[in-house]
């Protein structure tokens, strides 16, 4: 049910954007005519609401739900180990995935430093954890209430939620710090406009000379 709701929200957004570009609905009182940029404008407005209202509420709520002083011994350490293991696998997988991929049109494949930055830039991920980490505990309270093993399920739900919060603390803070520190060191400065024009002129001249041969 939860997955179906999320999938429905994604499909609804894609269908609405496609219909707006085509001018649907065509009813005079409801339609705006073809509006190719309407979905982009709406996305920008929703992004502002997300950044200033929804996101602080989500992260604040999930953070306030954990009392680290009341956690059983070893739960936080196990959660951190799980997060760091998954993070290491994701960094390695991202680095290997970008191997041999083409950059911008006409560029060579990404350099070692660029691939390393891609791997680092994928570290600060926390929104999904903030939204979903409390779902198992919520379902346990609904579906397992009164069951003989309710306390065990409740403990597992708390541990999953704790893992999600620790994932936020590690990925969001550490990831953002890594991007800020290593970004200027790993990424090459974009060429200036004049240099780009000179490069394009040289490439065009070479192409013309090759065509004459």
Q: Are 91 and 122 in contact (CB under 8 A)?
A: yes
How much of the chain, in percent, has pLDDT values that exceed 70? 77
* pLDDT of amino acid 118: 87
> Count of domains in the chain?
1
Q: Does a structural domain hold residue 195?
A: no
The whole-model pTM stands at: 0.67
Does residue 14 sit within a domain?
no
Cβ proximity of 43 and 127 under 8 Å: no
Q: Determine, yes or no, domain membership for 3.
A: no
| Residue at 135 is within a domain | yes
Is 1 within a domain?
A: no
Residue 178 vs residue 193, higher pLDDT: 178
Tokens encoding 182: 């290593």
Residue 130 domain boundaries:
68-189
Q: How far is CA 178 from the centre of its chain?
A: 16
129 domain residue, yes or no? yes
SS3 155: helix
Torsion sign, CA atoms 19, 20, 23, 27:
positive
Per the domain annotation, does 93 fall within a domain? Answer: yes
């Amino acid at each position: 049910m939860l997955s179906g709701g999320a999938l429905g929200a994604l499909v609804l957004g894609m269908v609405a954007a496609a219909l707006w570009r085509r001018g649907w609905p065509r009813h005079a009182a409801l339609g705006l005519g073809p509006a190719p940029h309407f979905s982009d404008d709406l996305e920008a407005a929703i992004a502002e609401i997300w950044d200033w209202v929804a996101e602080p509420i989500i992260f604040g709520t999930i953070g306030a739900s954990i009392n680290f002083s009341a956690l059983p011994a070893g739960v936080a350490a196990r959660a951190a180990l799980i997060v760091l293991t998954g993070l290491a696998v994701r960094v390695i997988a991202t680095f290997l995935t970008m191997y041999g991929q083409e950059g911008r049109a006409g560029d060579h494949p990404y350099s070692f430093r660029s691939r390393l930055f891609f791997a680092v830039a994928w570290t600060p991920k926390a929104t999904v954890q903030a939204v979903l980490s409390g779902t198992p505990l919520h379902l346990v309270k609904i579906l397992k209430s009164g069951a003989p093993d309710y306390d065990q399920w409740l403990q597992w739900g708390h541990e999953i939620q704790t893992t999600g919060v620790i994932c936020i603390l590690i990925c969001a803070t550490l990831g953002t710090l890594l991007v800020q520190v290593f970004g200027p060191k790993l990424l090459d400065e974009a060429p200036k406009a004049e240099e780009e024009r000179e490069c394009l002129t040289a490439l065009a001249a070479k192409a013309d000379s090759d065509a004459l041969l």
